[in-house]
Structure 1
Amino acid sequence: MGRNDYIGAGQFATPGKGKASQHDGIEKDSSSSAQIIGDAGNVSQVKAISRPTKTQVIKKHIGRFWVCYGIGGIVLLAIGLPILFLVIVPKIAQRLVDDADLPIYSVTIRNPKANSVVITLATSLKIPKGLTVHLDPLTLQLYRPEEPTFIPFVEVSLPGYKLRGTTNITLENQLVTIGDIDQFTKFLGNAVANQKFVIAARGKARAHLGALHADVTLDKKVTLDGLDNLKGFSIDSATAVFPPEADGTNLRARLTIPNRSTVSFDLGNETLNINGPNGLILGNATVLDVYVQPGNNTFEATGVLDLATLVGNLQTLITYWAPSLANGNIKLAASGNATIFNGEHIKYYEDILNGLELEGEVPVISLLANSLGNLLGGGMDGIKNLTDYLGLNVTEILGEFDSNLNTSTTSVRSRADPVMRTVDMG
């Protein structure tokens, strides 16, 4: 190949022409990215040129614009961190508080005064396992959710707590001021009158999740068992006292007051009216040191019966007692009169109990036996000796009384006509 045949690297002599080709000197095969170098008689193929990967492209891009990305990151942090601390973390903390269970195991209301009580409360707060929340001290406001507006009636203070799983929370003998007597009275009235009642509490505190903290609102409504109008109240026994004691006491009784709730009430000294029909008051009874705890509570009562009123309304009373007498019982009814604690009238308790009517029945035989036994001072032996001496059969006397009772419904003689023997005691 002569000098004129070689034009230059990558150039070919055009057959039949003495000039060099006007191409760039490099031809690309249409089927390959390989470059073909050489003359017409000697063509060789070299390795294809590799393209950069995506990672290399990104690194190169960041390397060129790192300043822009740095500024953008700072801007995002400046926007995102406040959102994290001011929005996201508080929402997480609030959600934990909202979802936490708050069962109330017991409530005790003691040492009542006109404007204050002493409260003991046992509850717990449960949060998801694996989380630990430190709760700062807070003030809880108790209120009635039935009201359209928020009216707290009592405020209680809780210390700080470390919450993990289920944490017991106890409020021990805390003296609290009654902020709203009307709302407090309504709350107690709901607890006494209903099978279920609601206690609600609201408070604000700071919660700490590790190094993060947030302000949260605790607002819980808890449904508890109520006293259901003291359903199950009973007069277990009653005894007439003759002659009356120095203070006028002529009646003694044993009462059972049930408490179906988890709330304990310290009432002090309770005076009850002994009621007949149509608002007739037959006397009063006093129960000392009344502390009503969950379950059945037994108390001794002393009473003063107005015998003049009793005798003057005997026919009305026999008619009133007829249904219970037919079953061998006598019905006694009572309602609140006064609640006195350490010499002070407790008006909010009086407002509730004075409108509460309690009824119980006492077996006639038990009443007569206890009364006669007390009169004779010898119990049942004394009664037996007396009836033996008089030649009386108590069963026959009561049967005769029951027979007379059944023959009259609306008009009953003030006295039955048992066969009585006149005994010459001379």
Structure 2
Amino acid sequence: MDRRLVVLFAIACGASVANLYYAQPLLDRIADDLDVSPGAAGLLVTASQIGYALGLVTVVPLGDLIARHRLVAPLMTLCTLALLGAAAAPNLPVLLLAVLGVGVTAVVAQVLVPLAGALAADHERGTVVGTVMSGLLIGILAARTISGLLAAAAGWRTVYVAAAGLCALLGIVLHRMLPRLPAADPALTYRGLVRSLWPLVRDEPVVRRRMVYGALGMAGFTVVWTSLAFLMAEDYGKGEAETGLLGLAGLFGAVAALGAGRLADRGWAHRSTGSFLLCVALGWALLWAGGESIAALVAGLVLVDLGMQGQHITNQSTLYALRPEARSRLTTLYMTGNFAAGAVASAFAGVAWSAGGWDAVCLVGGGLALVGCLVWLDEHLRAHPAAARRS
């Protein structure tokens, strides 16, 4: 696969999914500006996650029914309009509705990732998907830094105006440059497409395992980043710019996770998954100490992001090798589980912060990490060695 196209995919995926996360370091500022409580402002994260989950269920499966490149331009256009709506929102209900629309249309990233998997040769699929997914994950983390700095300089609404401009520009470039591939299974109807989702879960144990790992990883990831703005504002007395800069710590983890796709290509997916899950658990131990130490907080963010992103790339590389004709549907199943878990976790994060501050947040996140390690250990002990290598 042409490396220039891989880079374009990575940038487009990163910019698209970044739209879901611009609000996270701005929650305290948005709450003050719109005169709502921090808990109510935290619903912006929930709305974006719910919107993304809706888009995954209703839009992404179409990639197995019609040519994927035909979905990209309309989604980018609608996302641009939703971002402009967020920038102009006069109150929280309107902002929530706009953010919900951003979430639905930001699933264009999950149209592009299976397309990258289809364009890549078998021997490089894990590497290509890993590169594209790293771009996506770097976009998530860079979104917090960029939005924090831009909001500090020009206000939080400017963030959404800039995001709309970038989305429009990328939509034009993608429309011109995307390869024109035929649909994976044009004989299917939309109803048949939706009905085929459950049999994929029922018949493929690898799908079920990877969905569990992904959901637990996204839940923990969302808990820490939803609560971080409150920790920085209330315990450290810092604003959105400093909170956004913490996203740079996660970038180190994203870069380190680039190798996850190569490990999957070499047949080490099972062992690397266990290692990445352990990284997340160790990261939460450091984050707990981060309530009183910035150094521990930064180190914990690096480990949590490394572990979450590494196992996420491994999960998708494994799934795309499983059923080539159903990559969009597998993406729907996997990512819907992730973002449904993220939506629930963002709400729990606000409750945990209100109930017990940072200690309660770390108890929730650490518990999720421990569950992930136990699930992997159970799989490792039960599985035949050949099955373990396959998964």
TM range (shorter): under 0.3
Greater RCO, CA 8 A, separation 6+:
2
Query: Which structure has the highest strand share of the two?
Result: 1
| TM-score (norm: length of structure 1) | 0.19
Query: Which structure has the highest helix share of the two?
Result: 2
**Max Rg structure:** 1
